[in-house]
Chain A
Amino acid sequence: MIELHNVEKTYHSKSGDIDALHKTNLTINAGEIFGVIGLSGAGKSTLIRCINMLEVPTGGQVIVDGQDLTAMSEAELRKARQNIGMIFQHFNLLASRTVYDNIAFPLEIQGLSKDEIRKKVEPLLELVGLVDRRDHYPSQLSGGQKQRVGIARALASSPKVLLCDEATSALDPQTTKSILDLLKDINKRMNLTIVMITHQMQVVKEICDRVAVIENGDIIEEGTMFDLFTNPKTPTTKDFIKSINNVELPAILKDVPLSKEYIEGGKLLIRLSFIGASAGDPLISSLVKKFDVDVNILYGNIDSIKDTPYGTLLVEISGVRTSIKAALTYLHERNLRMEVMGYVS
């Protein structure tokens, strides 16, 4: 649905050029919720603004729904933008218009008649749950309600893509949750492709299918949520995951030397991560039954990514060399991710 080919952006200022985005390649599939996470100044705002050409890239191609936006005239671009909705951190509603008129705004721009506008706006008011607020002005609404108006406004022209620019960063956790639920619902119901940039890992975990981590204008890591959670490769990603998930070793094991080689009478430390249906398997008890090993659970956690359960276990296995080896082979065959950390004596 969205393809970025070698997209780059350089800002020229008196104090020199700033490369906000280096050659970036990204493919976002139709119907998925794609997250871009990064610290402030990492280039994520520039990236999302390049998708609808609010920022014109210095180089590269932006292809949305098969159309190359970078090759378009101003007028063609305006038409194409009607296919790309956008919501903002600070909502950016028109203060002089009521809720109804704010949602009607993009349709007015397209030159629809009053009747056609009403037919589109009323179901949207219903969808975002603001029917009783239709004649209120933005200043009379709470932050969450304002963002709902923003969402309804973005959906008014029936776009195929919705861009979310830090859409929940100005909201409290509870409101954030309800906005994310709404986005998830819309994604499913309308098969809408959603791109969201955020610095909140919690948000990404809640709704994203795939995620890219951006730092200093480069995408440093990209993958499914499960990949990123269970196998983060860069320190930045690890930091983000740490912010919501404990991946550290328990304190008592922190300073214990880990050996790659088998230690007679020692224990093997492994971290297991599993997702979805496999989270229900009686893994530990079958290990103990099938092989002559003892399994001790040091740490366990069950969480969810989007709506899929996801668990982490830190276990130590002890036994003779051959039975540990057999147990490891068994674990490898299971539908889970395993990290062998080493032996402790």
Chain B
Amino acid sequence: MSPEIINLLIKSFVETCYMVAASTIISTLIGLPLGVILTVTRKGHILENTPVNAILGAVVNATRSTPFIILMVAIIPLTRMIVGSSIGTTAAIVPLTISAAPFIARIIESSLLEIDHGVIEAAQAMGASPLQIINKVLLPEALHSIVLGVTLAIISLIGYSAMAGALGGGGLGDLAIRYGYQRFRVDIMIATVVVLIAQVQIVQSCGNYISKKLNKNKL
């Protein structure tokens, strides 16, 4: 492989990392409160509120059932409004974030629901407010499981970022399509796939490691 190709590969890799990292951070910032609200407003939970839960649930489901490639095209006006352009690596972050946030919200919801109701009851019996229960009981107790869920979201985002690449977002997906597929460069195609596989492996291993460190349940 020529140095240009390697440079190209590195550049694409950095672009993918940028897209995935930025969209993970922003979608977690959005998904975390959403997931918490989805959990605590459930029936029988600390801030039971059926209308809020039903409306939020419907919005999350609607976003999640839209295929990414369609979502990406459908929200081009929004992307243009936020980033100023609908093409490019930064522009790809908008649809990536919008598709990942509800996914993360659901993941966080299911992690929080795993917490034994007795522990919540104990905190209530000590006079903890709902906000204290969220901050000091629900989130810390579920953290190891949330980390695994976010790892899953990152891996999905790596996949989505390849699609975003095809629509002008850059990154490894873009490289594989333009060079590997359209110019019949099998070597580049293989190199891209190898980098993607390695990337996913590393992300999953890190996620597993951190989650295990945080989990004090099984020692």
The yes or no answer to A259 lying at the interface (CB within 8 A) is no
A-B contact pairs, 9 of them (CB 8 A): A81-B126, A90-B116, A92-B118, A94-B119, A96-B144, A105-B136, A109-B128, A109-B129, A163-B125
Q: What are the residues of chain B within 8 A of A52 when measuring CB–CB?
A: 125
Inter-chain CA distance A218–B132, complex, in Å, is 36
Q: What are the residues of chain A within 8 A of B125 when measuring CB–CB?
A: 52, 54, 81, 84-86, 163
The yes or no answer to B183 lying at the interface (CB within 8 A) is no
Query: Are A86 and B122 neighbours in the complex by a CB distance under 8 Å?
Result: yes
> Which of B128, B140, B143, B217 counts the most A-chain CB atoms under 10 A from its CB?
B128
A78 and B129 in contact (CB under 8 A), knowing A88-B122, A95-B217?
yes
Which residue numbers of B lie inside 8 Å of A, CB to CB?
Answer: 116, 118-119, 121-129, 132, 136-137, 140-141, 143-144, 214, 216-219
> Which of A80, A139, A140 counts the most B-chain CB atoms under 10 A from its CB?
A139
Residue of A nearest to B216 (CB): A137
A244 shortest CB reach to chain B, Å: 29
A139 and B216 in contact (CB under 8 A), knowing A78-B127, A96-B140, A109-B128?
yes
Q: What are the residues of chain A within 8 A of B136 when measuring CB–CB?
A: 105, 108-109
Residue in contact with A109 in the complex, picked from B119, B132, B140, B218, CB distance below 8 Å: B132
A92 and B127 in contact (CB under 8 A), knowing A109-B132, A139-B219?
no
B197 shortest CB reach to chain A, Å: 33
Query: Are B126 and A82 neighbours in the complex by a CB distance under 8 Å?
Result: yes
- How many A-B contacts at CB < 8 Å in the complex? 75
Q: What are the residues of chain A within 8 A of B118 when measuring CB–CB?
A: 88, 90, 92
Query: Are A96 and B126 neighbours in the complex by a CB distance under 8 Å?
Result: no
Would you list the 9 A-B pairs with minimal beta carbon distance, nearest first? A92-B122, A81-B127, A92-B118, A78-B127, A106-B126, A137-B216, A86-B125, A82-B127, A96-B140
The yes or no answer to A321 lying at the interface (CB within 8 A) is no
B110 shortest CB reach to chain A, Å: 18
Which residue numbers of A lie inside 8 Å of B, CB to CB?
Answer: 52, 54, 75, 77-82, 84-86, 88, 90, 92-97, 105-106, 108-110, 137-140, 153, 157, 163
Residue in contact with A140 in the complex, picked from B119, B127, B137, B219, CB distance below 8 Å: B219
Known contacts A54-B125, A95-B217; 13 further A-B pairs (Cβ under 8 A)? A52-B125, A54-B121, A86-B125, A88-B121, A92-B119, A93-B122, A95-B141, A105-B126, A105-B136, A109-B128, A110-B127, A153-B126, A157-B127
Q: What are the residues of chain B within 8 A of A97 when measuring CB–CB?
A: 140, 216
B4 shortest CB reach to chain A, Å: 50
B46 shortest CB reach to chain A, Å: 11
Query: Are B126 and A109 neighbours in the complex by a CB distance under 8 Å?
Result: yes
Q: What are the residues of chain B within 8 A of A109 when measuring CB–CB?
A: 123, 126-129, 132, 136
Query: Are B119 and A54 neighbours in the complex by a CB distance under 8 Å?
Result: no
Q: What are the residues of chain A within 8 A of B116 when measuring CB–CB?
A: 90, 92
